[in-house]
Chains A and B, each alone.
Chain A
């Protein structure tokens, strides 16, 4: 049973445009959400996070939006750059828990 789902295995976006990656979750106990970025032959690296007490968190070109009623979060990258081409994982954890539950990942390709 996938508690965190990324329904788009891949996404292609033109350089300079906005990339929107989506993630849905089923566990209402999740209260902390993260996005990780992964390049080939490397481990995932932390990108941005959001607590359930917020609905938006911004860090430079990256913004994460959380819609608790819909159990949905999204990552916006604007403007998209070629170096953003990677696999993006959405992850979630319950309050006070160390365990992260990851989605299956979305491969983002930024086209020049």
Chain B
């Protein structure tokens, strides 16, 4: 089985440019999570979706960040405009939720973003 797929794996861009990160969750999973990992803050949740609907976006740092999940097999995280402090590794994770029970979250390999 394919795991969570993220693209690109590496992204280098200049300040002010738009960045789009992509994620394909594990087939059959109905929850999707976007995380950011930095040295200072560790691994922090940005936003998560259930059944393609955003549930909690309280971790999204600013209006420059937006996330969408147009269907069950695809999600994007967009940063516009990007800034050097956005440089981090961005992870997507997916899981299956049935009622109040959530199974383990499975993480993708991450996208390493560098904003110059």
CB distance from A50 to the nearest CB of B (A): 13
CB distance from B108 to the nearest CB of A (A): 5
Q: Is the interface of B mostly helix, strand, loop or mixed?
A: strand
The answer to whether B105 and A100 touch across the interface, beta carbons within 8 angstroms, is yes
The answer to whether B110 and A43 touch across the interface, beta carbons within 8 angstroms, is yes
Q: In the complex, A98→B104 CA distance in Å?
A: 10
**Residues of B close to A104: CB separation below 8 A:** 41-43
Q: How many residues of B contact A (CB 8 A)?
A: 25
Q: Known interface pairs A43-B93, A44-B91. Does A99 touch B108 (Cβ–Cβ under 8 Å)?
A: no
The answer to whether A96 and B42 touch across the interface, beta carbons within 8 angstroms, is no
- CB closest residue in chain B, given A104: B42
Q: In the complex, A36→B93 CA distance in Å?
A: 13
**0/1 string, A69-112, CB within 8 A of B gives 1:** 00000000000000000000101000010111111110000000
Q: Known interface pairs A43-B4, A43-B109, A45-B107. Does A96 touch B100 (Cβ–Cβ under 8 Å)?
A: yes
Q: Does B116 contact A (CB under 8 A)?
A: no
The answer to whether B97 and A44 touch across the interface, beta carbons within 8 angstroms, is no
Q: How many residues of A contact B (CB 8 A)?
A: 19
Q: List 27 A-B contacts (CB under 8 A).
A: A6-B42, A36-B107, A41-B109, A41-B110, A42-B109, A43-B4, A43-B91, A43-B109, A43-B110, A44-B91, A45-B106, A45-B107, A46-B106, A89-B42, A96-B100, A98-B31, A98-B48, A98-B102, A99-B56, A100-B45, A100-B105, A102-B35, A102-B42, A102-B43, A103-B42, A104-B42, A105-B42
Not counting A43-B109, A100-B45, a sample of 4 additional A-B residue pairs whose C-beta atoms are within 8 angstroms of each other reads A42-B109, A43-B91, A98-B95, A99-B45
Where the two chains meet, the residues of A that have a C-beta atom closer than 8 Å to any C-beta of B are 6, 36, 41-46, 89, 91, 96, 98-105
Where the two chains meet, the residues of B that have a C-beta atom closer than 8 Å to any C-beta of A are 4, 31, 35, 41-45, 48, 50, 55-56, 91, 93, 95, 97, 100, 102, 104-110
